[in-house]
Every structure is written in structure tokens, then in C-alpha cells.
Homo-oligomer: A and B are copies of this chain.
Amino acid sequence: MIINGVTIDDTFAEAFGMRGTRVIITAQNLRWAYNAARAMTGFATSVIACGVEAGIERELTPEETPDGRPGVSILMFAMSSAVLIKQLETRMGQCVLTCPTAAAFSGIDEGYPEITRINLGKNLRFFGDGFQISKVFNGKRYWRVPVMDGEFLTEETTGMIRSVGGGNFLILAESQPQALAACEAAIDAMSKIPNVIMPFPGGVVRSGSKVGSKYKALIASTNDAFCPTLKGITKTELSPEIESVMEIVIDGLTDPDIRVAMRAGIAAACELGAKNGIKRISAGNYGGKLGPYHFKLREIMA
């Protein structure tokens, strides 16, 4: 399959089951909603060392938020419920409880076959030292916690669902600026798709890894087969003209969400096309035996 001169590999991205949640953060204005959301989703590029993978999903209009204020929604994913619940509580306490004028609400209430309620502000309420006030409204419990700027308003719980992490595709280009340009176009497009985040810095990762290392203490190391500077000295997967490879990883609430995002991102990268040095789109997998979700590139782009 070739799109605008770009070869789409006959391969697939292999993805995993994760637990995912959404939180709606509002504030007096968008600047402060973003301040809270950026702090809360920072240092969350990979579950391996960050615990969670998190990102800002999109901006919300006042009509879309429970308290009628401007807001943003964030998504957070982990490999287990326990880690997700713990990280959510910690990050809420450090980044939303602390942030001037910010409030937090459940972002998943219906629309999925199985939704587990997890703590959002349930334990943070104790910060109120007994002065906190509970309120039930439309069947949902909220907490008003006295803080210096007024009150921290938070819903008691949010919804957690079974979701999917590790959707991905690789962009192979003739030079680094071209690969980066394709990634920027792809991220610009994918950031408009609901229900997904691209957790790495700016949405992109350049340090793809293989399992194992010559250093026995390490369980992963650079994917030398995809390193352009090693073409001459290792068993490479790169043809001679490829000088830069970048990867976009996607976590999504469901399998179809990831498909939509992958399609949008690959299409945007291919829009630049071969004449701009974009030569090939590939994907990362482990032979298909580890992850239950297989996103076939050619099927997605059909």
C-alpha cells in the first residue's frame, strides 16, 4: 500500500489492556485549567517509570462542564486499577487541590459496558480537617473543601474502564526535520480526536527499544535495527535513504478510538508525502503474542 508516495508497511501495532479514566478540570479561566492539567499530566510518558501515562484530551466549553466554567479533560492510564487509583489520588492532591480556582469532576459516567467508580476527591476531602461539606446533586456526591482561595469543589468519584494502551506507528523519513515535520502534522491532527492521548513529550518518542541488552542489568535497550546511525554496523531494518525514525504512541479509551487516531495521524503524515522525504510508515509489535490488540496499518488506512 502506498499513499502519496509513502509505503505503508504490511504490519501491525500491538497494544495492551490498560485501565483508563477521565477527569474534567475546570477553573476561573482556561489558563488555570491548563495550569492544573499540565501539572497533573506531566512526567507521565510511560508507565514503566512514571506509573501512569496521562495527557490532556481536549478543551471543554462551559456548556460541557458541570460547573459552567471553562475546562479541560484529561485522560490517565495505568497497567492496573491499583496503580491508577493511587496515582490519580496523588496527582489530584498535588496538582488540582493546590491549583487556584480549580475544581475536578468525573469524566466517565455512562456509555461503556462496565464502569468502575474510583475515588476522585473522596479522600482529598479529609484535607478539610472536618470543615468539608458534602452535597448530593442529581444522584452524585460532591465535596466542598475549604481552602485559602475559597473552596475546592470536587466530585467524590470518577469512572474507570478497561481501555487500550500502546497503539503506535513509526514514521521513517529521509532526514530528522522531515520526520519531525510529519510528527507535528500528525499530532496536530490527532489532538483533535476524542478519547485518546499521545503520552510522550509533544506526543512523540524517538527512543524506540528492543527487549534485552548486552548489559545484563537492563531489560531493554535501543532498537538498533531502527537507528539510522547504526545502519552500517548492525542488522538494520532501514533502507539506505532513511535517516530518521520517530514513533507516535497512542492510549485510548477503546480499540476503535485508537484506530480513528492512528488513521488521522498517518493520513496527516502521508499528506506531506514522499516528495517531502516521508518514505514509510511502520508499526511496533512483539510478534503478536504479548498484546491482545492488533492494529493493522493497511486495514486502518483502507
Contact = CB atoms under 8 A, between A and B. Distances in A.
A181 interface: yes
A100 B183 contact: yes
Most chain B Cβ neighbours within 10 Å, of A40, A99, A130, A207:
A207
The size class of the interface chain A forms with chain B is: 35 or more
Interface string A42-86: 111110111000000001011100011110000000000000000
A96 B176 CA distance: 16
Interface of A: prevailing SS: mixed
A39 B129 contact: no
A208 B97 CA distance: 10
A185 interface: yes
Interface string A168-209: 001000111111111111001100110000001110111111
Nearest to A30: B188
Given A221-B126, A272-B28, A276-B175, A63 B264 contact: yes
B29 A69 contact: no
A229 to B, nearest CB: 5
A11 interface: no
A209 B101 CA distance: 17
Contacts of A200: 39, 98-99
A207 B175 contact: no
